[in-house]
Chain A
C-alpha cells in the first residue's frame, strides 16, 4: 500500500518536473508597461513572432518600476519599458544586458472640452504645465512610478513647479483608471497616445497639447542578466529582442494602427540616451 503510494507520488513528481521543464524551455516571460499592453501592439506583434519561433511569450503588464523590479529579481526573462534613466541604472547595475532601442511613441496632454485652464491648442508641454499649476486646475497624476509618471514629474520640474497645487491628485493607478478619473472629475492628465486612442470614445475629454518633442517617449528592450540567475530563458528572450529590432519586426511596428492612427515609430539602431530628447530624471 505504502509502496504503491510512494511510486504514485514519484510518478506524479516526475511528470510534474517533466512538464515544468518542458514549459521553461519554450516559454519566455516579458515584463512590459501597462500602456504598451493596453495599446494592443503586443497582441498584434507576438503571434507573428510565435509563428516562426519555437517560443511562447507570456506578457506581464505592470508599471515600469515593477517591470524593472521583476527583471532585477529574475522573475522575467526580458523587459520592454520606456524610462531611459531608470533603464540606464538597471543596465549599469548589471541587472540587465543588451539594451536596444525599439521604437518611439508620444504623450499628449488631455483635458475637459470646457478647458477651464485655457491650455487648448498649445504645442509647448512645459508652459502648459506651468499654466495648469498657476490656475490650480484639477490634474490627475499617475503617481505610480511608471514611465508616464516619471515623464510627468520631469515636466513639472521643467516648468519649475512643485506639484502640490490645489487640484493636484496623485491616483497611484494605471493609465486607464487615471483617464477615467480625469473624465469623471473633469480634470487634465498626461497620457500616452496609445491608451488615449484605445479609450477616448468612453471619455469626456479631448487632446489639449501634442507634438512637442519633449513629449516623445523611447522604448527599450533589455534582457535580464543570465549570469545573476539560473533558469532564465535567455535564448528565447534574445530571439524575441532580436526579432523586434530586425527589419521584419520594425516594419510591423511601423505598420501597426490603432483607430487608423500610427502609434509607434520604429527606431532600432538609434541609441537611447537618458539625457536626449526625452531627458528625464528620477
Chain B
C-alpha cells in the first residue's frame, strides 16, 4: 500500500512537472490516433450512408459483417498487417513496417468498424423526412446530405469519440506494427508495457493516469452528446 502511494505520488509529479519524455509519448499517441480517425471518417460515413439509405441484396449481411469486424481482437489486426507489411510480405516494398504510418493504418482498420456501425445506427434513426423534405424543397444531393448530417451531428461526434477511445487505448497492434521505437513509434500504451517490464512503475502509472483521464473526458462528452442528441430529437 505504501509502495502504491509512493508510486502514485511520483507519477503525478512526472505528469505535472511536464516531464518531456512523458509528454513526447503522449504527443505521438494523439498524433497517430487523431490522424487515423480523420482518415477513417469519410469512408466510414460513406459505407454507413450506403447501408442506411440504399436497399441492396445482402444488406443485412453487410451490416452483420461490420458488427463482426468490431469484435476482431487488436492483436489479430496487428498480426495480419505485420504479415502484409513484412519484408517477405506482399507489401514489403513499401517499407512501412515499424513506422507511424503503419500504426495509423492499423488504427484506421480498428476505427472503421466502430465508426461505421455507430454512424449507421445514427443515420437510420434520423427521421426519413429530413432527407425527403430537403429534396422536395429543391435542395441538391449534396445539400440534402448536409441537412442529413446536420441532423445527425451528435451521433457522428459520439461515433468519433467512441472510435478514438478504442484506438488510443489499444496496445496489441501498436506494439506489433509500430515496434515501440523510442521518440518515433512509442505510444502511451506501448510505453506502459515497457515501463512495467523495466520495473519503472511510476512512469507506467503516470501514462495510465493520462489514459484514465482521457476516458473520463470522452465519456463525459459522450454523455453530454447523447443528452443533447435526444433533446433535439424530442423537440
Contact between B197 and A144, CB atoms less than 8 A apart: yes
Contacts of A143 in B (CB 8 A): 182
Q: Nearest Cβ in chain A — how far from B136, in angstroms?
A: 58
Interface residues of B, count at CB 8 A: 20
Chain-B contact segment, one of A164-172, A189-197, A227-235, A250-258: A164-172
A172 to B180, CA, bound (A): 6
**Residue A98 interfacial (CB < 8 Å):** no
Q: Which of A144, A181, A185, A204 contacts B198 (CB 8 A)?
A: A144
Q: Which of B180-214 contact A (CB under 8 A)?
A: 180-182, 184, 186, 190-191, 194, 196-200
Contacts of B179 in A (CB 8 A): 169, 171, 173, 177, 181
A180 to B139, CA, bound (A): 57
* Known contacts A169-B184, A173-B175; is-contact A184 B198 (Cβ 8 Å): no
Contacts of B98 in A (CB 8 A): 169, 181, 184-185
Q: Which of A213-248 contact B (CB under 8 A)?
A: none
**Residue B226 interfacial (CB < 8 Å):** no
Contact between B87 and A183, CB atoms less than 8 A apart: yes
The 10 closest A-B pairs by CB, nearest first: A69-B199, A170-B182, A172-B194, A145-B198, A65-B198, A66-B199, A172-B180, A169-B181, A65-B199, A66-B197
Question: Which residues of A are in contact with B by a Cβ distance under 8 Å?
Answer: 62-63, 65-66, 68-70, 73, 143-145, 169-173, 177, 181, 183-186, 204
Question: Which residues of B are in contact with A by a Cβ distance under 8 Å?
Answer: 3, 86-87, 97-98, 175, 179-182, 184, 186, 190-191, 194, 196-200
Knowing that A172-B180, A173-B179 touch, tell me 5 more A-B residue pairs with CB under 8 angstroms.
Answer: A65-B199, A66-B198, A68-B199, A144-B197, A171-B182
